[in-house]
Amino acid sequence: MADKRISFKVDGEVQGVNFRSFTTKKAHSLGVTGFVTNVSDGTVQGEAQGSSQALKEFIQHLSKGPSAASVSSLEQNDIATKSGESGFNVK
């Protein structure tokens, strides 16, 4: 049940370290839908939707990232949920 949606922005050493793949795996394991993408400013950004508990765990994983990553900051904002979304994709 998706009762919440967030946008997220992860800054630090987060590109070229399998961050998007890591994010996608965590989303699938938690039943979170949405997307993740590399941005030209060096950040990784995306949106995630799921239960409050699943999103809380998802954000905890994002704040650490894969072992090769070094996360310096993580921003998240509540946004409107989207109906009919299935899966979590890399854009």
14: domain CATH number is 3.30.70.100
Task: Give me the amino acid identity at 73.
Answer: S
Q: Which domain range does residue 23 map to?
A: 4-68
Burial state string for 38-65 with b = 16 or more CB within 10 A and e = fewer than 16: beeeebbbbbbbbeeebbeebbebbeeb
The reported pLDDT for the residue numbered 1 is 54
Can 20 be counted among the known catalytic residues? yes
Q: Does any domain span residue 51?
A: yes
The answer to whether residue 61 is domain-embedded is yes
Residue 57 falls within a domain, yes or no? yes
Is 38 designated active site? yes
pLDDT in tens, 1-48: 569 999 999 999 999 999 999 999 999 999 999 999 999 999 999 999
Domain annotation covers residue 14: yes
Count of domains observed in the chain = 1
CB-CB contact of 6 with 76 (8 Å): yes
Given a cut of 80, is residue 80 above it in pLDDT?
yes
Set 18, 20, 77, 89: catalytic member: 20
Catalytic residue among 5, 38, 77, 89: 38
Tens digit of each residue's pLDDT (9 = 90 or more) over 48-74: 999 999 999 999 999 999 999 999 999
Q: Does the residue 75 lie in any domain? A: no
Segment 85-91 mean pLDDT: 95
Q: Give the C-alpha distances (Å, rounded to integers) separating 22 from 31, 34, 40, 47, 67.
A: 14, 14, 19, 15, 10
